[in-house]
Amino acid sequence: MKAKAKTLVCPYEDCENHTQTVEGNIQFIRKYGNGATQNLFRCMKCRRTFSERRGTAIFGCCLSEDKINEITKCLSEGNGIRSTARITGVSKSTVCSLVKRLGSHMKKVTESQIQGYHMEECQLDELWSFVFKKRKI
């Protein structure tokens, strides 16, 4: 964990070392879950603690990284919410919650990364799907 602490910065904007990786500034406190990124750290400058997941889409999520990856893979393969819930063994509301989390986080990432981008030409591929109707409308 010491090697991981060397790569982190304090996430609090009012801290003096907010964007600086100073040797010994971040200290590992303890694990708080089963996941690999469920670790608690402390900034030695402002003395506040923070999760390694802070600022990510899975911050505050109780699922393990493996389960989140499994759900994301199922959804990206075109499975529906109910089938993804059955395959992964979680509830439908958990899958919906994760979709909302990931979607809003990706919107923020896209907005922050693509600003002032000038595009001359754009080519988009079409996605075709079939929807079955039982009766004519």
Alpha-carbon span 137 to 100, nearest angstrom: 31
Report which of 76, 78, 38 is spatially closest to residue 58, judged by C-alpha positions: 38
pLDDT by residue (tens digit) across 95-104? 999 998 888 8
pLDDT of 132: 64
Report which of 75, 78, 13, 81 is spatially closest to residue 43, judged by C-alpha positions: 13
Alpha-carbon span 70 to 95, nearest angstrom: 11
pTM value surpassing 0.75: no
Answer yes or no: is pLDDT of 128 > 70.
Answer: no
Alpha-carbon span 99 to 97, nearest angstrom: 5
